[in-house]
Amino acid sequence: MTDAEYTADMGAADVPATMESVSIVETIRAISESDRTDDQKAELFRNEGHIVIKMAWTEFVKALSSDQKAKIDALSL
């Protein structure tokens, strides 16, 4: 799929799941790296990857509120 094929409706529909990924990343990052379980490390990797992929879509980024975008930007992915 190209960026031109990713619609505004698709972007808006993807926001809730992506913001859930943001919450998961924030929660796991709050745990000291040395205290993270293997499952937490894997979940962090998956959710950070999910966010990076979504942020590559122009229509997804347009669908974010300024607060949502700021939360994602704060993750420095």
pLDDT by 10s per residue, the chain, length 77: 899 899 999 999 999 999 999 999 999 999 999 999 999 999 999 999 999 999 999 999 999 999 999 999 999 99
What's the pLDDT at 76?
98
Is this structure's pTM higher than 0.85?
yes
What's the pLDDT at 52?
98
d(CA 6, CA 44): 25
What is the three-class DSSP state of 1? coil
What's the pLDDT at 28?
98
d(CA 7, CA 4): 7
Identify the residue whose tokens are 């990076």.
52
What's the pLDDT at 24?
98
